[in-house]
């Protein structure tokens, strides 16, 4: 990987699926894996195209039991482009000898390129260069360009260009026993001589998806397309054209396939097939479309790039992560009813569901493209009715959002999950992670803090927050013996602990993270109500019937939630202290990688619930989400001590008992260690940065990138190392690891004003852009808080930092 490129210089069938995921191209509306255009689905190739909201439900009869699942559907494959030389077979990796090969993800343009020189079975040497993008300028547009050079031969070639609706969902091995067919054919069509189109529909959700492709051939240097022989073949769920023409030795020929994709969720169309056809006919040729795409990305980089000149590797990976985050969540996303699928739009792991991971995604967006966060939060707001129904059904009040969310906001978490180590289906109790509700509340508040978008709070946010607070009040109960409120039957983020060992009922008592979040939520509600115009607050309270008594109860909860402690640390949940210690050395020696300790233990007939072993940060999340001052206030309000060392002790305790079975955990630990042990934080930050490119979990990334980790690393740089924090109306910066950050430059947007932040020679410079300035703008380092006018720069001297960085 160099510069702005993730590049592979040899073909490796074993690694190809991973590379496809990492070289996906998308625009926040749809995303397509980096599969070679000429390859059909097979053990090393998996063409996958996904669009936000493209879900479908299917039932599998499993051991006689119906199992219902909702999946983000693999849409028709628009990539298909094959080369046949004379009467030879279509060129594919199995049919040729590669002389040169390069597979590149151009990070700056989110474009995938392949360049290869090969010998075919007849000894002909050919160069084929492919470039493709999914347009950031026009959300429905994508383009492929091939350049073919016959190096030592002349003759006739055929290009097969197709749209293939016969796709199924089957990249995730664990799900293969479950139904993977989601598409039904509707119809193929042509729009004039150059354009093929295909419409399909999802089998249950009746989403129509249409694609159209215009394929042209351009002889060397010619801007006008050549007149080539075309033949058509169409089936209900597949359509192809074959373009036949002569090529001459040494003379490059270009093939362009411009594609449009629409679904029946789109605005401003009559129906997808007509829209796809109309649009593709108007698309410019590849070069012009690419220029528009490039201009759109240039603008995005202007607001989102981070520069870290001293740290080459981190720099590159951060940019890779920025590109991937924006491929999944862009301004185009904001125009749709879209949430943040935990694994992006480039694989099928977790079925494209939306979890609490958005918590890790928004901090980066909030301070750059907050309009995207706003739209993604609306995904939750639109599902409030369903969340209310879920709460009522479970005997609670308010809104209970699902652990896994898809199309309509009902609970999508499976009830059984396949353990690939044992081959057995284990019950899946993870839906008891009610903390997702706390995350949604937190996300709304942090969005508001970054933007001061009172309209959002007034029209949507406050209602979400009130209903979530109400849910927590109803799931909590008062324990008169302790004189505290308790929550039973839930799980924290650590998915290894689903219940007490041997207990028949699921869930745990008093997960500290959950209870502390509830204390914070109930303490925050009055601030939310105070912010609203008085009339609106009264109207909302009236409409939701929020009584004075309820407000008093919440106030009381904010002072009396129960938090368990043991040995001077926060207990992950009540009774954690009684669990057995795990023989970590034994398992490390036996298995090497013990990240998925739950699967190892279960395969050995053991129950992870028995042990002090966490999959990921749980109690420690508190130190990740809140600053020291906020936590001190929270704990003191609860009447618990908050000594200066509580964070250090608690983090250290769980660090030794966490297997990091979710890569989110690396992000969290890096974040909490940043103020305590910046060097160790940096090391973990690097692990998180490398986790997807290096596929540290051995096979998960090919099923989709980890959105939370990719954006979490960007948040780490911003919050952990640059020390960005919003308190009141002040944007505070408190940089650490100055020698690693030397020369660092960032763009940010705080409450409407664009900022440039630059760290150099022991000084931090902040420039408030004049264009679009919305003041007053207050920025601070430590106690030094300044007010900036449009176009003004302020320079903060940074205190010298004691500990030199170990290299």
The catalytic residues are 495
50 belongs to the binding site for ligand BGC (CB under 6 A): no
Does 602 carry a binding-site annotation? no
Interface pick for ligand BGC out of 297, 356, 472, 573 (rule CB under 6 A):
356
Residue 660, SS3 per DSSP? coil
Question: Residue 32 and residue 381: Cα distance in Å, rounded?
Answer: 28
Q: Is 355 in the site for ligand BGC (CB under 6 A)?
A: yes
Measure CA 736 to chain center.
Answer: 27
Q: Which of 616, 650, 658, 701 binds ligand BGC (CB under 6 A)?
A: 616
CB of 679 to ligand BGC, least distance (A): 26
Identify the DSSP state of 381: H
Contact flag: residue 38 with ligand BGC (CB under 6 A): no
For residue 350, the minimal CB distance to ligand BGC (Å) is 5
The answer to whether residue 572 forms part of the interface with ligand BGC (CB under 6 A) is no
Number of residues that bind ligand BGC (CB under 6 A): 12
The nearest distance, CB 119 to ligand BGC, in angstroms, is 44
The kind and range of the H/E element at 132 are: strand 125-134
Task: Please tell me whether residue 411 binds ligand BGC under the rule CB under 6 A.
Answer: no
Q: How far is the CB of 402 from ligand BGC (least distance, A)?
A: 12
What is d(CA 195, CA 78) in angstroms, rounded to the nearest whole number?
Answer: 13
- Nearest CB to ligand BGC, comparing residues 45 and 615: 615
Q: Which residues contact 788 (CB under 8 A, 6 or more apart)?
A: 766, 768, 775, 777, 778, 779, 794
Work out how close the CB of 169 gets to ligand BGC at its nearest, in angstroms, rounded to a whole number.
18
Rounded to a whole number of angstroms, the minimum distance from the CB of residue 492 to ligand BGC is 10
What would you measure as the largest C-alpha separation in the chain, in angstroms?
90
- Whether the CB-CB separation of 451 and 444 falls below 8 Å is answered with no
Q: 616 a known binding residue?
A: yes
Task: Decide whether 69 or 202 has the Cβ nearer to ligand BGC.
Answer: 69
Q: Which residues of 154-191 are buried (b: 16+ CB within 10 A; e: fewer)?
A: eeebbbbbbbbbbbebbbbeebeebbbebbebbebbeb
Closest C-alpha among 319, 403, 324 to residue 357? 403
* Cβ-based nearer residue to ligand BGC, 357 or 655: 357
x/- letters, 146..185, toward ligand BGC (CB under 6 A): ----------------------------------------
| Binding characters for ligand BGC, 659-688, by CB under 6 A (x = yes) | ---x-x------------------------
Distance CA 550, CA 553 (A): 5
The count of other CB atoms within 10 Å of the CB of residue 444 is 27
Q: Which of 495, 550, 574, 598 binds ligand BGC (CB under 6 A)?
A: 495
For ligand BGC, which stretch binds (CB under 6 A), given 75-83, 162-170, 351-359, 734-742? 351-359
Angle at 554 between CA 552 and CA 560, to 5 degrees: 105
| Whether 620 contacts 672, CB under 8 Å | yes
Q: How far, CA to CA in Å, does 704 sit from each of 120, 286, 596, 804?
A: 33, 28, 18, 38
User: Is 539 labelled as part of a ligand binding site?
Assistant: no
Residue 415 Cα distances to 176, 404, 412, 422, 429, angstroms: 16, 12, 9, 17, 7
Closest distance of CB 342 from ligand BGC, Å? 4
CB of 235 to ligand BGC, least distance (A): 37
Complex with ligand BGC: residue 374 or 615, whichever CB lies closer: 615
Task: Using DSSP, state whether 262 is helix, strand or coil.
Answer: strand
Binding of ligand BGC at residue 692 (CB under 6 A)? no
Element holding 586 (H helix, E strand): helix 584-591
Using the rule CB under 6 A, is 582 a contact of ligand BGC?
no
Looking at the Cβ atoms of 139 and 437, the one nearer to ligand BGC is 437
Helices (H), 490-562: 512-531, 534-544, 548-560
Residue of the chain from 30, 238, 301, 350 that contacts ligand BGC (CB under 6 A): 350
- Contact map string, positions 697 to 726, toward ligand BGC, x by CB under 6 A: -----------x------------------
78 vs 355, beta carbon nearer ligand BGC: 355
Give the range of 156-164, 352-360, 505-513, 576-584 binding ligand BGC by CB under 6 A.
352-360
Phi, psi for residue 337 in degrees, rounded to 5: -85, 85
Task: Give Cα separations from 695 to 224, 346, 613, 707 (angstroms).
Answer: 44, 15, 23, 14
Select from 493, 564, 671, 723 the one that contacts ligand BGC (CB under 6 A): 493
User: Nearest CA to 703 among 342, 419, 411, 412?
Assistant: 342
- Minimal CA–CA distance to 356: which of 727, 708, 715, 719? 708
**180 vs 708, which CB is nearer to ligand BGC?**
708
Q: Would you state the structure tokens that stand for residue 539, as one six-digit string?
A: 């109207």
Tell me the backbone φ, ψ of residue 341, rounded to 5 degrees: -65, 130
The span of 36-44, 353-361, 454-462, 605-613 binding ligand BGC (CB under 6 A) equals 353-361
Shortest Cβ 430–ligand BGC spacing (Å): 8
- Contact indicator for 495, 430 with CB cutoff of 8 Å: yes
| CB nearer to ligand BGC: pick between 523 and 664 | 664
- Residue (364 or 460) nearer to ligand BGC, CB: 364
Annotated binding site for substrate: 356-357, 615-616
Task: Note the residues at the interface with ligand BGC (CB under 6 A).
Answer: 342, 350, 355-357, 493, 495, 615-616, 662, 664, 708
């Amino acid at each position: 990987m160099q510069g702005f490129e993730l590049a592979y210089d040899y073909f490796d069938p074993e690694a190809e699926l991973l590379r496809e995921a990492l070289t996906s191209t998308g625009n926040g509306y749809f995303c397509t894996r980096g599969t070679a255009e000429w390859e059909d689905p097979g053990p090393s190739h998996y063409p996958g195209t996904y669009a936000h909201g493209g879900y479908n439900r299917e039932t599998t009869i499993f051991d006689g039991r119906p199992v219902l699942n909702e999946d983000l559907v693999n849409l028709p494959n628009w990539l298909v482009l094959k080369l046949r030389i004379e009467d030879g077979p279509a060129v594919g990796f199995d049919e040729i000898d590669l002389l040169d090969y390069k597979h590149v993800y151009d990070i700056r343009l989110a474009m995938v390129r392949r360049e290869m020189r090969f010998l075919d079975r007849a000894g002909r040497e050919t160069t084929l260069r492919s470039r493709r993008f999914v347009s950031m300028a026009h959300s429905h547009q994508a383009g492929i360009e091939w350049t073919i050079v016959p190096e030592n031969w002349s003759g006739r070639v055929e290009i097969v260009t197709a749209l293939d609706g016969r796709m199924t969902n089957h990249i995730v091995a664990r799900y293969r026993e479950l139904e993977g067919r989601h598409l039904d054919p509707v119809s193929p069509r042509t729009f004039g001589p150059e354009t093929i189109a295909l419409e399909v529909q999802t089998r249950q959700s009746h989403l129509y998806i249409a694609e159209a492709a215009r394929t042209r051939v351009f002889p060397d240097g010619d801007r006008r397309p050549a007149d080539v022989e075309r033949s058509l073949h169409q089936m209900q769920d597949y359509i192809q054209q074959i373009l036949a023409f002569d090529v001459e030795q040494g003379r490059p020929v270009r093939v362009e396939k411009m594609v449009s994709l629409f679904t029946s969720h789109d605005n401003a169309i009559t129906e997808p097939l007509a829209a796809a056809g109309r649009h593709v006919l108007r698309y410019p040729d590849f070069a012009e479309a690419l220029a528009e795409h490039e201009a759109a990305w240039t603008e995005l980089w202007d607001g989102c790039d981070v520069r870290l000149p001293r740290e080459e590797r981190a720099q590159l990976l951060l940019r890779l992560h920025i590109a991937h985050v924006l491929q999944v969540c862009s301004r185009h996303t904001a125009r749709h009813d879209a949430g943040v699928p935990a694994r992006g739009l480039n694989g099928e792991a977790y079925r494209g569901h939306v979890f609490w991971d958005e918590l890790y995604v928004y901090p980066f967006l909030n301070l750059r493209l907050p309009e995207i966060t706003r739209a993604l939060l609306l995904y939750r707001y639109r599902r409030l009715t369903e969340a209310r129904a879920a709460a009522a059904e479970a005997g609670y009040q308010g809104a209970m959002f699902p652990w896994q969310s898809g199309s309509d906001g009902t609970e999508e978490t499976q009830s059984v999950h396949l353990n690939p180590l044992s081959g057995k289906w284990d019950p899946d109790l993870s839906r008891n992670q009610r903390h997702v509700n706390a995350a949604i509340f937190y996300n709304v508040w942090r969005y508001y803090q970054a933007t001061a978008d009172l309209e959002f709070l007034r029209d949507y946010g406050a209602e979400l927050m009130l209903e979530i607070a109400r849910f927590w009040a109803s799931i909590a109960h008062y324990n008169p013996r302790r004189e505290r409120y308790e929550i039973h039957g839930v799980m924290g983020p650590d998915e290894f602990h689903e219940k007490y060992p041997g207990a028949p009922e699921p869930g745990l008592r008093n997960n500290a993270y959950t209870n502390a979040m509830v204390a914070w939520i109930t303490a925050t509600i009055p601030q939310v109500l105070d912010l609203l115009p008085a009339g609106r607050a009264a109207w909302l309270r009236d409409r939701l019937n929020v009584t004075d008594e309820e407000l008093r109860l919440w106030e009381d909860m904010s002072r009396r939630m129960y938090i368990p402690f043991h040995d001077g640390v926060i207990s992950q949940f009540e009774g954690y202290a009684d669990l057995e210690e795990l023989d970590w050395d034994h398992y490390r020696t036996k298995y090497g990688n013990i990240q998925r300790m739950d699967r190892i233990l279960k395969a050995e007939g053991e129950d992870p619930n028995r042990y002090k072993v966490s999959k990921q940060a749980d109690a420690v999340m508190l130190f990740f989400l809140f600053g020291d001052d906020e936590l001190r206030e929270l704990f003191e309000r609860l009447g618990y001590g908050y000594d200066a060392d509580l964070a250090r002790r608690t983090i250290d305790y769980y660090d030794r008992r966490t297997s990091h079975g979710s890569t989110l955990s690396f992000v969290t630990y890096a974040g909490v260690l940043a103020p305590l042990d910046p060097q160790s934080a940096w090391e973990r930050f690097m692990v998180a940065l490398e986790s997807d490119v290096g596929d540290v979990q051995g096979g998960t990334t090919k099923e989709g990138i980890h959105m939370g980790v990719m954006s979490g690393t960007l948040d780490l740089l911003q919050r952990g190392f640059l020390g960005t924090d919003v308190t009141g109306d002040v944007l505070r910066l408190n940089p650490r690891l100055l020698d690693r950050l030397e020369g660092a430059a960032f763009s940010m947007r705080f409450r409407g004003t664009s900022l440039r932040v630059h760290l150099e020679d022991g000084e931090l410079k902040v420039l408030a852009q004049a264009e679009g300035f919305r003041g007053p703008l207050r920025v601070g380092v430590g106690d030094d808080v300044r007010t900036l006018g449009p176009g003004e720069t302020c320079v903060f001297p940074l205190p010298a930092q004691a500990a030199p960085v170990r290299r």
